[in-house]
Amino acid sequence: MLRSKMKTAILAISVTILAASLIFYPQESLEASKRGLNMWWKIVFPSLLPFFIVSELLIGFGVVKFIGVLLEPLMRPFFRVPGVGGFVWAMGLASGFPAGAKFTARLRDEGVISQIEAERLVSFTNSSNPLFIFGAVAVGFFKNPQLGFILAVAHYLGNICVGLLMRFHGKETSSKQKRQGEKTSIKAALTALHQTRMKDNRPIGKLLGDAVNTSIQTLLMVGGFIILFSVINKILYLLHITEMLGNVVSIIFANFSFPEKISIPFISGLFEITLGSQLISDVKGATLLQQAMITSLILGFSGLSIHAQVASILAQTDIRFKPFFIARILQGIFASLFTLLLWKPIYIRLSKNEQPVNAAPADIFLDGSWVHQAFQKMTEIGPLVTIFTLTLYVWILFIRLKKQTN
């Protein structure tokens, strides 16, 4: 009872301080809000929307079930999750945060996976997408395309290690016993696909409308969290709370010979990874290896902004948030250690004038390259895609409300 009252008091005081800060710092709060909004409608919304819609269609048409049957022999022994986890992992890797949580919650709602399996799955299927690591962090912030390779390798190896470790989370589930008798073959996969499609007997138009509707609702929630944490991050800086936390962290960093100046960017990155990565790239006095290790740490941890988005998605199911939070801490540590261990074999090797024949050319991520141009083009047309899709969303809602009234 006392603990509950303390929690209520802390939450009430925090919200009151936040509200007062918005009044005392209106201009700074507005600028931070604009920054979060620009990030959402230029990059996040147009980049995630296609993945969300397509995933809903794949689930409805039974394709995910088809993939799950085929990948069962791979995902079950290594990660103790059903084969459909392979689909979630791939989609999460390609589209970035918080897609893994979104798809895991969707499969849980369908009853495809158990609660424990969902908690294992969500712990390692949320990651930064390659375009963000290479385009925004490596090239945009550090002006160093070779750095993208070490950050990406460390990040995704950390994901795998978390998945292997989280396989020990929870007890055996009935799902495994149920699937032991199932055969893994193309015929069995096609049968599962057809049965899933027949079970979900919604017309194509209804299925597409539901996919657009649920996807946009999720992205509106994501946008709200991005804007909110952008403002919170700025207010914490204005109230010198970030500086105080940075002083504590600097003491810990000093034991590892990290410069004191990197502590405040690190604290900012714990709240929002984009701002944190940018601030870390501007730190003077730190070696590139130290900057890369801290950047890998915050990319693995994902930031409290992402945590809030995932928590909101998982709250709609019986999936607990605590395993995900622990997994983010583990991945941050793993990614940072992999950056240190692989620095010479990957980054130093790629930085030499003569690159190995089997290495991907780093200049495809430089300014003027097709990857960089694609990233720039996405930020230009992103607002148009967002406005058009939101208009379509309003139209679908209007049509459905009109049918209900009639």
pLDDT tens track, the chain, 406 positions: 778 888 888 889 988 988 999 899 999 999 989 888 887 887 778 877 887 888 778 877 877 777 777 788 888 888 888 888 888 888 888 778 888 898 899 889 888 889 999 999 999 988 888 878 887 788 878 888 888 889 999 999 999 999 999 988 887 654 444 444 455 567 777 777 777 777 777 777 788 888 888 888 888 888 888 888 889 888 988 888 888 888 888 888 888 888 888 998 899 889 888 888 888 988 888 899 999 999 999 999 988 989 998 999 999 899 999 999 999 999 999 999 999 999 988 888 877 744 444 444 445 445 555 555 655 666 667 777 788 888 877 887 778 777 777 7
Cα diameter, the chain: 71
Rounded CA separation 279/295 (Å): 10
Read off the tokens for 330.
């583990």
Instruction: Say what the pTM is.
Output: 0.81
Within 10 Å of residue 209's Cβ, how many Cβ atoms?
18
Q: Residues 6 or more apart from 195 whose CB is under 8 A from it?
A: 62, 65
- Given a contact cutoff of 8 angstroms between Cβ atoms, the answer to whether 46 and 385 are in contact is yes
Q: What phi-psi label fits residue 127: left (phi over 0), alpha (psi between -120 and 50 degrees) or beta?
A: beta
pLDDT value of position 275: 81
pLDDT value of position 260: 86
- Given a contact cutoff of 8 angstroms between Cβ atoms, the answer to whether 77 and 228 are in contact is no
Q: Report how far apart, in Å, the C-alpha atoms of 255 and of each of 9, 17, 332 are.
A: 36, 34, 19
Rounded CA separation 52/91 (Å): 9
pLDDT value of position 50: 82
- Given a contact cutoff of 8 angstroms between Cβ atoms, the answer to whether 300 and 334 are in contact is yes
State yes or no: cis peptide before 98, omega within 30 of 0. yes
